[in-house]
A and B are shown apart, each in its own frame.
Chain A
Amino acid sequence: MSHDELNEALGPSLGTDPFTQGDGTLPYLIRLRERSLRIVAEAVPTRAAQTTAYEEPQEPPDLGPPIPELPTFDDRDESAGALDRLAGMLLTPSDEDRLAQLGALLGGRPYDEFGLSPRVTRRALAFFKLLYKYWFRVESSGHAVLPEKEGAILAANHGGLLPFDATMIVCDGVLAAKPPRLVRTVVDRWAGTLPFVNVFYARVGQVVGSRDNVRELLRLKQLVLIFPEGMAGIRKRAADRYVLQPFHLGFVEESLRHRVPIVPVAVVGADDQAPVLWDLQPLAKLLGLPFFPITPTFPLLGPLGLLPYPVRYEIAYGEPFRFYDEYPPEALEDPHAVRYMTEQVRRRIQEMVDQRVLDRRAKRR
């Protein structure tokens, strides 16, 4: 259908368009443009003419050197980074291989959905590897239970003021697991509000604990580290160390919903890194903090007092729970069943922790 036929079929224009006013004849400018388009179309040789006509090979016109390809952001930062060179010195070729395997999972993207940057992760790992090897002297066991490619929820006990337990589990996943896996820790919403901290967490692959985030991570078959005790785990007093606090239920629900195993993880050492003597709740409320701890060194030594003691860490991965094989999907809607499953996980982790604490005490004697 031609334009005129279409316009005729649709009837007269409303008249708000100056280009189609009056009796429907096209104004001079439109006609001129159509004419010029026709002339250009006629001037272009047809495909048949192009294939049949012989043309002498011509030298390409001399336009000077080609414009260099602009580097991507990653390349630019790579060339500028003293931190990258330092990381290169601290990491072994084996570590670099492991990081390369993890980076390949992003499919060439500089960032993943949650803000993970392989470059920042490499820098951070170089630093935290020092803590992993020389400060906390981490010993880990049971990596075989970690799925090689599938998603899983790692449920661990939480302790210490600053989340070095999470950091050491992440390092362990990259440096000791076979194949290397990047563990994505679910962090408290409060941590997501902190300037600089929120950006750093995102760049090294940690995510704020929302249901959508956890579901997306599990859909992407990632290892998701959850501390079911929540904030109660890290603010418990020294007298309660290695006594697991009540668990939140969300991780079991997500495990049932996405049919992923729950791997119990016991961390021994974290509760000794900064023993909390008292939690000044009134002051915490005044300052807008989740808690205000008093430790042997904080606030006595100022911010330095928050640094962890050089305690020896032990990380153990237990046999996974596969509740989705034992319970029907309707169990998700039954709070008693979910609570029962949660308690089973909690007891298992408590047993693993107790066993290792007893072993430590026996060794000291």
Chain B
Amino acid sequence: MRRVLVTHVESPVGRRVVKALYHDPDVALVLGLGTEAEPSYLAPYRGKVAYQRLDLAKARHLQSFLHSERFARARPDSVIHLPFAAERAGERVPGGVHSLVSETRRLVEECAAKGGMERFVYLSSAFVYEPEPGNGNVVSEAQLLGFDGDGDSLVRAWIDADLVCQGELHGTALRMTILRAATIVTEGGGFLNSPPLAHHDPAVGYDPMLAVVSERDVARAIVLALHADRPGIYNIAGREVFPRSQLGSSERRIAGIALPAPLGGALGLVERLIGRSHAQGAAFERYGIVPSSRLAHEALGFEPQYRIEVRGSGAARRIDTVRCR
């Protein structure tokens, strides 16, 4: 019976994970961490789920929590870390996205040093991969990461946090599983794990394909990874892919004018010079990344159970999550 520590339970994915773990007979206890007051959705799950308000970005908070009587009595043996699941498109973390990297580093180090923690499941993003020219490129877990120093700050943070967790892949202290999810579609039709949709303008002549996955499927994959005990890196994606023009146009900024790629690159340089972090000209504005979740299917038994449908256009656009028959 697993005793699981789940971070950022107030996020949409965190909520799904907590609910799935509550109904999981192999999980004895769930200790949820969040930065806000106890989410109201936890009310029906109190028999198995406890909540602790905590700011993981602060080392002092994490230290006092890990050495508290509450933590000692909970005796969690697994961690599900969802730092970027809270990052909604269009919103930013107050402390900056790099605070999420710091908290990931701190949590991984403390869990590895403390002992008693067996499994660590970390939710990363498929945007860590280096985009290759062309649209709708299927990438496996072996694809190189996109170390573009001038890229989007959120993407760089994803890569940094991913590398922190990769550092524990071959260690003996933790059994690390990294799930790199495609753009996550929430029940309300919002997007997670998708910086280009909200913060980047498209380049003329490019319309990259984006793989999408339902938040419910992501939660299922996390629970599968928790039980499968197959450390490694796995891509998580749904069946559908859409051009960015269909998914992103409703979230485009007012100044979101399509620019020719060289002009976008030049504008990006100017933006960086004046200190704007969401620079233009990033490769993922032009080239699509479609993560292949074949390995997750073979190793974890992951199979998407929900499909995403895009209906209507303009203000009447609706993005539905539909259960597969």
Contacts and interface: CB of A to CB of B under 8 A. Distances in A.
A330 interface: no
A362 interface: no
A110 B54 CA distance: 44
Contacts of B312: 70-71, 76
B4 interface: no
B64 A14 contact: yes
Contact of A199 (B74, B207, B261, B294): B207
Contacts of B243: 111, 115
A3 interface: yes
Given A19-B37, A198-B133, A219-B294, A115 B209 contact: yes
Given A14-B65, A212-B143, A193 B309 contact: no
A202 B133 CA distance: 11
B318 A70 contact: yes
B50 A207 contact: no
A73 B311 CA distance: 6
A73 B35 CA distance: 39
A10 interface: yes
A142 to B, nearest CB: 30
Contacts of A322: none
Contacts of B318: 70
Interface residues of A, number: 56
Interface stretch (B16-24, B82-90, B198-206, B218-226): B198-206
Interface in A14-71: 14, 16-20, 33-34, 37, 69-71
Interface stretch (B38-46, B151-159, B188-196): B38-46
B136 A114 contact: yes
A122 B294 CA distance: 30
Interface residues of B, number: 63
Interface string A200-217: 011000011010110110
Contacts of B139: 212
Contacts of A215: 140
Interface in B243-301: 243, 246, 260-261, 286-288, 290, 292, 294
A208 B137 contact: yes
B134 A208 contact: yes
A110 B40 CA distance: 38
Given A10-B73, A17-B53, A195 B47 contact: no
25 contacts: A6-B47, A9-B73, A11-B72, A12-B69, A13-B52, A14-B68, A16-B54, A34-B43, A69-B311, A72-B310, A73-B246, A73-B310, A73-B313, A112-B241, A113-B136, A114-B136, A115-B288, A189-B132, A189-B134, A190-B133, A191-B134, A198-B134, A199-B206, A208-B132, A215-B140
Interface of A: 1-3, 6-7, 9-14, 16-20, 33-34, 37, 69-73, 76, 107, 109-116, 187, 189-199, 201-202, 207-208, 210, 212-213, 215-216, 219
